[in-house]
A and B are shown apart, each in its own frame.
Chain A
Amino acid sequence: MGRNFVILKKDVQEIEKNSSSLFKIAKKWAVTREKIPDKFYCQNSAIFQTRLVKMETLLQKDKNAKDLFSLLTSIAGEIGNNSFDHNLGQWPDIPGIFFGYDLNKKQIVLADRGLGILQTLKRVRPALKNHLEALKTAFTEIISGRSPESRGNGLKYVRHVIVKYPINLVFETGNAKLKLNNGNHNLIIEDVMESINGCLALITW
């Protein structure tokens, strides 16, 4: 009995640990606007850049990430900066992004409460029907939501890196979820029950 109790207690702790994971905190913020700790909130891109450089320094020292630090920093930078670039002056409610990382769990999480990819890309591609189509377009075509500015290669870069290096990505916008796994060109895109207005990304390695 005593042994079973210990296992049960450990399981409960594991569930609690997982339920407080960065991804869940970020998703809850993206869906419900629940307040997040200041350490995760970057109100503007200057704060994000500062925290990104801090993460880069920590990744360089981390034995599990030292060969990937440069790529992890650049793909996190592309995703985070996309949020600021595409929502500047148009944030529906809360400006800024969630940016958190746990190097022990080998994960980086980013989220925003912005317009989302469908609304952004519809400016230049009005025929896009839904979030799934928009997500696929964002990761496969050189297209910019800020046309005529020359942009639109950031998420293609993220895909390009993940295909070549041991990094994985989960990316959500609206009711669409994309999974991109190391070494695999294929995009796995599916519907999700819980819709978010902006974008949510989980990078793991």
Chain B
Amino acid sequence: MIELKKFGTTLISRQTGKEAFLACQSLLQDIKKTEMIELDFKDVLSFSPSWGDEFLTPLLKKFKENLILRKTNNPSVLATLEILETTLNKKFEIAK
């Protein structure tokens, strides 16, 4: 499981989203595409499509339905997921 708060609680710019994705590569390299990977937004304060596009989009492309997002009530996370889903024409899997 990846806890996004470990990259900061204000996840806004493309630059920091890209850096976070690169930093994650060492964690992800041993995970097969067929394995589940879970993301947790707990304690994230603000989230934006720029950060999300740099971090979530490549993960979604790689892991597809095996990328699972934990439920959150944070409005900026929810609004960002909606806009990314529209742009990518793909749905994120949300944990039940």
Q: Provide the residues of chain A in CB contact with B47, threshold 8 Å.
A: 70, 74
Q: Provide the residues of chain A in CB contact with B53, threshold 8 Å.
A: 150-151, 153
Taking the closest CB of chain A, its distance from the CB of B10, in whole angstroms, is 5
Count of chain B residues with Cβ under 8 Å from any Cβ of A? 25
CB-based contact A157/B79 at 8 Å: yes
Q: Provide the residues of chain A in CB contact with B12, threshold 8 Å.
A: 49, 52, 73-74, 77-78, 81
Is A154 an interface position by the 8 A CB rule?
yes
Taking the closest CB of chain B, its distance from the CB of A75, in whole angstroms, is 8
Q: Which of B25-33, B62-70, B80-88 contacts A (4 or more CB under 8 A)?
A: B80-88
Whether A53 contacts B10 in the complex (CB less than 8 A), given A45-B15, A74-B80, comes out as yes
Is B45 an interface position by the 8 A CB rule?
yes
CB-based contact B50/A70 at 8 Å: no
Query: What number of residue pairs across chains A and B have CB atoms under 8 A from each other?
Result: 85
A interface secondary structure, majority:
helix
Give A154 to B84 CA distance when docked, in angstroms.
10
Contact residues, B6-65 vs A (CB, 8 A): 10, 12-16, 45-50, 53, 57
Give A165 to B78 CA distance when docked, in angstroms.
13
Give A85 to B13 CA distance when docked, in angstroms.
10
Q: Provide the residues of chain B in CB contact with A71, threshold 8 Å.
A: 75-76, 79
Q: Provide the residues of chain A in CB contact with B75, threshold 8 Å.
A: 68, 70-71, 165
On A, residues with C-beta under 8 Å from B are: 45, 49, 52-53, 56, 60, 68-71, 73-74, 77-78, 81, 85, 142, 150-151, 153-154, 156-157, 160-161, 164-165
Q: List 24 A-B contacts (CB under 8 A).
A: A45-B15, A52-B10, A52-B12, A56-B46, A60-B45, A69-B45, A69-B46, A70-B75, A71-B76, A74-B79, A78-B12, A78-B48, A78-B50, A81-B50, A85-B50, A151-B50, A151-B53, A154-B49, A156-B83, A157-B49, A157-B83, A161-B79, A164-B79, A165-B75
On B, residues with C-beta under 8 Å from A are: 10, 12-16, 45-50, 53, 57, 74-77, 79-80, 82-84, 86-87
